[in-house]
């Protein structure tokens, strides 16, 4: 057997090994994919809806995504300068009658809080729930007028 024959033997062996082990690799990939999907069912963190918080010179506005929730599922509180939006999204699954293949939609209780800037009129907050988006807004108090204080010189 010559050295040339050994070089041609290695690529052939490598190609055969790839064909032999390809089904095993696919099965391993499937097992890990199933395992990761199963972990989602045990996620105890609940949900944390996405939120936008913006401020203009006249008002503040918070938008939070709450698809599938109604006003009865939500609560809004203001404590000093902290606004808290909380709620609970109920599970819609009936595990006894269905065999789920993928479970990605979260459910459970959540609470999101934001520190409000100075001057927000807490008693004038309004909230509107439309198309799965909760919009909470409040005007700011009229800005205090700036004044100049004259300094007296004493001798």
What's the chain's Rg over C-alpha atoms?
A: 30
What is the distance between the alpha carbons of residues 152 and 18, in angstroms, rounded to a whole number? 92
- Asked whether 86 and 111 are in contact (CB, 8 A), the reply is yes
CB-based burial label for 78 (10 Å; 0-12, 13-18, 19+): middle
Least confident of 36-45, 48-57, 76-85, 120-129: 36-45
Taking only the tens place, the pLDDT of each residue in 124-144 is 999 999 999 999 999 988 765
Q: Would the pLDDT of 44 be above 50?
A: no
What order of strands is seen across the sheet that includes strand 51-55?
51-55, 59-65, 133-139, 126-130
pLDDT at 42: 45
Question: Rounded to an integer, what distance in angstroms lies between the CA atom of residue 36 and that of residue 24?
Answer: 19
Domain ranges in the chain? 1-42, 51-94+105-139
Q: What percent of the chain has pLDDT over 70?
A: 72
> Is the Cβ–Cβ distance between 85 and 136 less than 8 Å?
yes
**DSSP designation for 85:** E
Q: Which helix (H) or strand (E) holds 65?
A: strand 59-65
Judged against a pLDDT cut of 60, whether residue 155 lies above it is answered with yes
> What's 51-94+105-139's CATH class?
mainly beta
Q: What is the pLDDT of residue 35?
A: 65
Per-residue pLDDT tens over the stretch 89-126: 877 666 566 777 777 777 788 999 999 988 898 889 99
3-state SS class at 6: helix
28-33 mean pLDDT: 76
pLDDT for 133 equals: 95
Q: How far apart are CA 64 and CA 85, in angstroms?
A: 9
Structure tokens at 142: 């009229």
Calculate mean pLDDT across residues 6-16.
57
Confidence of residue 4 (pLDDT cuts 50, 70, 90): low
Give the lowest-confidence range in 53-57, 98-102, 151-155: 98-102
Nearest CA to 78 out of 62, 57, 54 is that of: 62
């Amino acid at each position: 057997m010559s050295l040339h024959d050994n070089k041609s033997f290695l690529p052939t062996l490598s190609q055969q090994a790839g064909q032999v082990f390809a089904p095993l690799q696919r099965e391993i990939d499937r097992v890990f994919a199933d395992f990761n999907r199963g972990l989602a069912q045990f996620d105890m963190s609940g949900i944390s809806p996405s939120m936008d918080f913006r401020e203009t010179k006249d008002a503040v506005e918070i938008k939070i995504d709450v698809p599938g929730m109604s006003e009865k599922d939500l609560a809004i509180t203001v404590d000093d300068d902290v606004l808290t939006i909380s709620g609970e999204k109920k599970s819609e699954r009936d595990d006894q009658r269905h065999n789920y293949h993928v479970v990605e939609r979260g459910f459970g209780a959540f609470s999101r809080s934001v520190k409000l800037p100075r001057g927000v009129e807490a008693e004038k907050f309004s909230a509107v729930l439309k198309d799965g988006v909760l919009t909470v807004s409040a005007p700011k108090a009229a800005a205090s007028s700036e004044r100049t204080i004259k300094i007296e010189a004493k001798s």
